[in-house]
Amino acid sequence: MTVIYVIVKYLTIVGTFTKAFFEHLSCRVYEVLVEDGRYLARSEMCGHIEHEFIKKRGVCFGVCFFPFLFNLMLGLMFLSAGAMNILYIGEFYMKSGAANFPSYIYLWLGISMLTNLFPQWEDALTLKELIYSKDSNMFVKIIAAPIFAILYVGSALERTGLTLLTSCGFAFVLVEFYKVLLPAIL
């Protein structure tokens, strides 16, 4: 599985790099010691950075959630631009006859960012342990449940490389969503 994981990470290298950068930035903001800052290691750490074990619930949530949020925002912007031009309008070529490279690049960037959203598997397990421990408040458990479920399931999918397929599928779903949301414009 590590081979497939690393291949997917290198196919989506821009998203891999930005996810690791945002994770590194989050560790700096939350003052978490970074042990290995290599972004593109050929292991299960590809696209992630190795940091010290996090013992505080809020810090662990921030290190898991904010890189997810930033990559999600960038991914949706790029995917919207590329998917609408190529998948909905069908502008495969420009008026000059050349391929519509900007739209293809936007589509690839969007898929790349959305493929690399989720935290490292060990971070997701640590977050689960911290949020759902016996001494945790019931209110925190209920409020954090939807976000945690997304992060946990996504982290499990990313481990096997399946987030590339889900991101490609999401491009088609996003176009259908925009058709329903903006019928007068489209």
Instruction: List helix spans (H) across the chain.
Output: 2-11, 13-29, 57-83, 101-115, 121-131, 138-160, 163-181
pLDDT, tens only, 58-100: 899 999 999 999 999 999 999 999 988 888 777 776 666 677 7
Contacts of 168 (CB under 8 A, 6+ apart): 111
**Total domains in the fold of the chain:** 1
Structure tokens at 78: 């790029």
d(CA 183, CA 163): 29
Residue 30 lies in a domain: no
Structural domain harbouring 100? 54-185
Let me know if residue 43 belongs to a domain: no
Written as six digits, the tokens of 30 are 């939350």
> Considering the entire predicted model, what is its pTM?
0.87
Q: Is residue 178 part of a domain?
A: yes
pLDDT at 102: 87
98 lies in some domain = yes
Any idea what DSSP says for residue 33? P
